[in-house]
Amino acid sequence: MNRRKERIDRGVKARSADIFALTSYREMLYLMIPGAVPVVALLCFSPMLSDYWREVIISTAIYALLAMSWDMLMCAGLLSLGQSLFFGIGSYISGSLNYYAGLPPILTLPIATILGGLLCTVLLLPVLRLRGIYFAMVTLVVPLMLSRLVEATRILGGTEGLTGLTPFPNQLTALFIIQLALLATLFGFRRIMGSDYGLVVKGISDNDRSVMSAGLNIYWYKAQVLFLGASVGCFAGAFGTHMDMFAGMPGFALDYSIMPVAAAVVGGVGTFAGPLIGAFILVPLSEMLRALGSLRMVFYGLFLVVFVVGMPEGIFAYIQRKYQQMERWVDVS
Amino acid sequence: MTELTPLLRASNLTKKFGGVTAVSNVDFDLQEGQLLGVIGPNGSGKTTLVNLITGFVKPTAGRIEFRGKDITGWPPYKVVSEGISRTFQMVRPFYQLPAYKNLIVPLYSPRVKKLAGGKYGNRDAVALDLLEEVGFERDAHVSYKKAGALPQGYLKRLELAKSMALRPDLIILDELFSGLSLAEVASIVPIIEKLKHQGKTIIMIEHRLKELFRIADRVMVLNYGRKIAEGKAKDVMESPDVKEAYLGSEAE
């Protein structure tokens, strides 16, 4: 006697798939709750936490932004192992604008976002032709190169970095800025990828020859996606700089490259909400494991392995399935 | 207009891959509204010829003109915006998407946006219409099925619809009939005839000679990258060169 798990869409899911969702509150709520509840919870409860945990939320959000930026690149088939490039460049741009020109964070953040996005796009433009692991290798190497460049030429403060930068007025302001950016990125990216433009982008990663023969310049689209991803990464870097009041070589550190990938893998690639959830699990977890001392990395790694093996689709896809489908065991003989 | 400039003219077209000459000194003219069949044994350079015309491969030497304009070595997206579209021999649709969503990508192209006058309205509706045109039965909701769940016959039709979505002047069909049953081929032939009646120029690469000869105005035969014959189907098949190259065993 064999058993098989049968999955059936819930009635409310089937009904609310179209304009008919507007016919009842129940169905409208069904559609809105998954988005609205976490957003409201985040905005309402995060200010109530202690200073320490607010700090944790802020650094989690920085990683979450990098993870969503990674996911955006992944949508176009660009596997990046160098999110620290975006973080570092955003960090140095806002840092030097603040250090040398004395601009306040309210100006350096948007300038670093746009300018950093453009700069990273131009830097990676020559390698947009590469795919998969070849693109990944280049993105891995470029931030390391840049950090050695800063060290060797002693520009931008050299190994010391730029210190004493303007902080945010208070922690609560910072908290709300980063949460706003987080939500704007999440819903913005989801919206973009849900449109026809998003179909083209996904098409490039699935089957680029087919997109080429459809009369679209795939390098132009890849550059656009790269700009979107890079500017979000640069915003994270600029934000982190003002948070720490410091811009320096650690901005190009490997942490900023690896953690976003781990978060996206745990949460579910290609969904944007997945990497966000992944970051909100992994970063606080690593904080909580601090008590374990040296064993921290062991448990952390163990958790990652168990997760990736046990739930390869990612947390987000798992939750989504439970929310939308009924499951039951049926006998097949 | 007595002496018409041909829609497509290839002169001295040559492509070498390392030491192998895939296409060698091929010349041909194609008048507007004609259907040219290209035949030849496996490895005779037919698909390379398609790749050369559509810009997927840059020629080693030679020249391609479309409406008198030199398009040699243009990238594929520019060639398409001039009005040349193609299908692929190996269909690779976006398997996770419903069939009609596969057409969104070509409908998003600058050429279609320009021809339709600015921003395209409802791409989904246009896609569904196009699929019906190539034989996706609307009543059976085939267009809404995932491309991965469709049989080969429908995937080939989808491939045809993708190239039609670009509103091309010249369509290049790379072995559209390969891997299809006789009945499926018989149901696609009228679609191609209809395209021809609409005034589209078509190049068909094909192994199914019987069906091809019925609809082709002219046939060109390639062997080892060289053009060995061109003309009416009947005359071409009687040429001794062709008999030897293409139907070698029969000629003996």
Would you say B45 and B23 are in contact if contact means Cβ atoms under 8 Å apart? yes
Assess if residue B204 is contained within a domain.
yes
Distance (Å, whole) CA A251 – CA A5: 47
Would you say B76 and B56 are in contact if contact means Cβ atoms under 8 Å apart? yes
Using the predicted structure, report yes or no on whether residue B249 has a pLDDT greater than 60.
no
Would you say B139 and B133 are in contact if contact means Cβ atoms under 8 Å apart? no
Average pLDDT over residues B244-248: 68
Whether B200 and B147 map to the same domain: the answer is: no
Of B86, B105, B163, the CB nearest to A199: B105
Which chain B residue lies closest to A196 (C-alpha atoms)? B104
Q: Determine whether the interchain pair A213/B92 forms a contact, defined as Cβ–Cβ distance below 8 Å.
A: no
Last residue of a domain, one of B124, B142, B159: B159
CB distance from A144 to chain B under 8 Å? Answer: no
Last residue of a domain, one of B130, B159, B188: B159
Q: Determine whether the interchain pair A200/B163 forms a contact, defined as Cβ–Cβ distance below 8 Å.
A: no
Last residue of a domain, one of B103, B129, B159: B159
Assess if residue B88 is contained within a domain.
no
Whether B44 and B112 map to the same domain: the answer is: no
pLDDT of residue A250: 86
Residue from B108, B162, B170, B171 whose CB has the most chain A CBs within 10 Å, to mutate? B108
CB distance from B162 to chain A under 8 Å? Answer: yes
Cβ contacts of residue B240 below 8 Å, gap of 6+?
Answer: B251
Beta bridge partners of A5: A329
Residues of A in contact with B86 (CB under 8 A): 213
Assess if residue B3 is contained within a domain.
no
Residue B40 belongs to domain with CATH number: 3.40.50.300
Whether B79 and B105 map to the same domain: the answer is: no
Which structural domain, as residue segments, surrounds residue B127?
93-159
Of A196, A203, A209, the CB nearest to B123: A196
Assess if residue B150 is contained within a domain.
yes
Assess if residue B155 is contained within a domain.
yes
* Touching B: A residues 292-321, CB under 8 Å: none
* Matching residue, tokens 């398409």: B80
- What percent of chain B shows pLDDT beyond 90? 31
pLDDT of residue B230: 87
Give the residue among A3, A9, A2, A61 at the shortest CA–CA distance from A322.
A9
Q: Which helix (H) or strand (E) holds A274?
A: helix A273-288
pLDDT of residue B251: 42
Residues of A in contact with B111 (CB under 8 A): 215
Of A199, A211, A213, the CB nearest to B101: A199
Question: Rounded to a whole number, what is the distance in Å from the CA of B77 to chain A's nearest CA?
Answer: 4
Sketch the domain layout of chain A as residue ranges.
52-257
Cβ contacts of residue B241 below 8 Å, gap of 6+?
Answer: B221, B223, B228, B229
Q: Determine whether the interchain pair A209/B93 forms a contact, defined as Cβ–Cβ distance below 8 Å.
A: no
Using the predicted structure, report yes or no on whether residue B252 has a pLDDT greater than 50.
no
Cβ contacts of residue B174 below 8 Å, gap of 6+?
Answer: B46, B47, B50, B86, B87, B88, B89, B205
Confidence of residue B113 (pLDDT cuts 50, 70, 90): confident
Q: Each residue of B118-155: pLDDT tens digit?
A: 666 788 888 888 898 888 887 778 888 888 888 888 99
Distance (Å, whole) CA A165 – CA A157: 13
CB distance from B37 to chain A under 8 Å? Answer: no
Question: Rounded to a whole number, what is the distance in Å from the CA of A21 to chain B's nearest CA?
Answer: 20
Distance (Å, whole) CA A59 – CA A178: 9
Number of domains in chain B: 2
Average pLDDT over residues A139-156: 88
Whether B186 and B239 map to the same domain: the answer is: yes
Distance (Å, whole) CA A282 – CA A300: 8
pLDDT of residue B120: 63
Pairwise pLDDT comparison (A12 vs B193), residue with the higher score: B193
Beta strand extents in A183-250 (DSSP E only): 246-247
pLDDT of residue B1: 45
Which chain A residue lies closest to B162 (C-alpha atoms)? A214
Q: Each residue of B5-50: pLDDT tens digit?
A: 889 999 889 998 888 889 988 999 999 989 999 988 888 888 999 9
Whether B72 and B14 map to the same domain: the answer is: yes
Which chain A residue lies closest to B163 (C-alpha atoms)? A214
Would you say A141 and A132 are in contact if contact means Cβ atoms under 8 Å apart? no
CB distance from A325 to chain B under 8 Å? Answer: no
Using the predicted structure, report yes or no on whether residue A17 has a pLDDT greater than 50.
yes
- Residue A299 one-letter amino acid: F
Give the distance from CA A189 to its chain's centroid: 10
Give the residue among A102, A106, A105, A92 at the shortest CA–CA distance from A167.
A105
* The residue count for chain B: 252
| pLDDT, averaged across chain A | 89
Whether B185 and B145 map to the same domain: the answer is: no
Whether B75 and B53 map to the same domain: the answer is: yes
Residues of A in contact with B169 (CB under 8 A): none
Whether B179 and B237 map to the same domain: the answer is: yes
CB distance from B215 to chain A under 8 Å? Answer: no
DSSP H helical segments within B4-45, as ranges?
none
Would you say B53 and B139 are in contact if contact means Cβ atoms under 8 Å apart? no
**Torsional class of A154: left (φ above 0), alpha (ψ -120 to 50), beta (otherwise):** left
CB distance from B45 to chain A under 8 Å? Answer: no
pLDDT of residue B195: 92
Whether B191 and B242 map to the same domain: the answer is: yes
Q: Determine whether the interchain pair A210/B166 forms a contact, defined as Cβ–Cβ distance below 8 Å.
A: no
Q: Which helix (H) or strand (E) holds A332?
A: strand A325-332
Structure tokens at A31: 């559609």
Q: Of all residues in chain B, what percent are helix, strand and coil, respectively (each to 5)? A: 40, 25, 35
CB distance from B94 to chain A under 8 Å? Answer: yes
Beta bridge partners of A281: none
pLDDT of residue A97: 93
Structure tokens at B128: 């569904």
Of B75, B95, B106, the CB nearest to A214: B106
- What percent of chain A shows pLDDT beyond 90? 46
Whether B226 and B129 map to the same domain: the answer is: no
Assess if residue B32 is contained within a domain.
yes
Assess if residue B47 is contained within a domain.
yes
- Residue B43 one-letter amino acid: G
Q: Determine whether the interchain pair A203/B105 forms a contact, defined as Cβ–Cβ distance below 8 Å.
A: yes
Whether B65 and B131 map to the same domain: the answer is: no
Q: Each residue of A81-139: pLDDT tens digit?
A: 989 999 999 999 999 999 999 899 899 999 999 999 999 999 999 999 888 889 999 99
Confidence of residue A70 (pLDDT cuts 50, 70, 90): very high
Whether B63 and B184 map to the same domain: the answer is: yes
Assess if residue B106 is contained within a domain.
yes
pLDDT of residue B169: 92
Cβ contacts of residue A222 below 8 Å, gap of 6+?
Answer: A76, A78, A128, A204
Q: Determine whether the interchain pair A215/B101 forms a contact, defined as Cβ–Cβ distance below 8 Å.
A: no
Confidence of residue A297 (pLDDT cuts 50, 70, 90): confident
The model's pTM is 0.89
Distance (Å, whole) CA B152 – CA A263: 39
Distance (Å, whole) CA A277 – CA B175: 47
